[in-house]
Amino acid sequence: MSTMTALSELTGDYVLDTAHTRIGFIARHTMATRVWGQFEEFEGSAHLDGDEPSKSSAQLSIQAKSIQTRNEQRDVQLGSRFLNADDHPAITFTSIGMDQVGKTTFKVAGDLTIRGVTETVIVDFELTGTERDRLGYLRVTFRGSATISRRDWGVNWNAATSVLVGRKVTLELDVAAIRQS
């Protein structure tokens, strides 16, 4: 993909291209190894304002039970015991502010809700590309990350897991979106 030089060309409403988007995470396990995972079911939308990026907005909804770490037993535990997906089936993010900090880099503040608890997080994003697809739709890609403390959302199973599983979790987002208007 080639990056456009003028952000104003990106103004419009977008939906996530879920086939080309990855919502992932990395967490320490037993303080010596790492566990990588991702969510398989999600949807989202955004309004990008290329002239005034601070007027942009984004929403994301993730199905908590769609967690995948390549270990079925761990996935069930994470979905049911850690994320309490039966009572709180969705993890949501709603932006509340955006600052452009470089030519193609942004800090997006938003309310992240996990297990019914909402905390504000800052996600660092970089615009990584733009292109027109074969049907003429504009596609944009962003890469983002944030490190959170799972304890802020009550993501814990029992006392033993607070020692075995690291407190910090890095969220990784590789986002592709298609302009609708």
What pLDDT, on a 0 to 100 scale, did the predictor assign at position 162?
A: 47
36 has pLDDT over 60 = yes
Main-chain dihedrals φ then ψ at residue 13, nearest 5 degrees: -100, 135
Average pLDDT, the chain: 91
Give 1-25 pLDDT, tens digit per residue: 454 558 999 999 999 999 999 999 9
The 10s digit of each residue's pLDDT in 51-64 is 999 999 999 999 99
pLDDT of residue 2: 52
Task: Tell me the CATH number of domain 7-179, given options 3.30.70.100, 2.40.128.110, 3.40.109.10, 1.10.3720.10.
Answer: 2.40.128.110
Name the token pair of 172: 């990784």
When mean pLDDT is compared across 22-31, 149-158, 168-177, the lowest value belongs to: 149-158
CA distances from 123 to 138, 163, 165, 181 (A): 23, 26, 22, 25
Does this model's pTM top 0.85? My answer is yes
Could you tell me which residue, 157 or 9, shows the higher pLDDT?
A: 9
Helices (H), the chain: 72-77, 159-164
Q: How far is CA 116 from the centre of its chain?
A: 17
Ordered by start, the domain boundaries in the chain are 7-179
**How far apart are alpha carbons 139 and 104 in whole angstroms?**
15
pLDDT of amino acid 72: 94
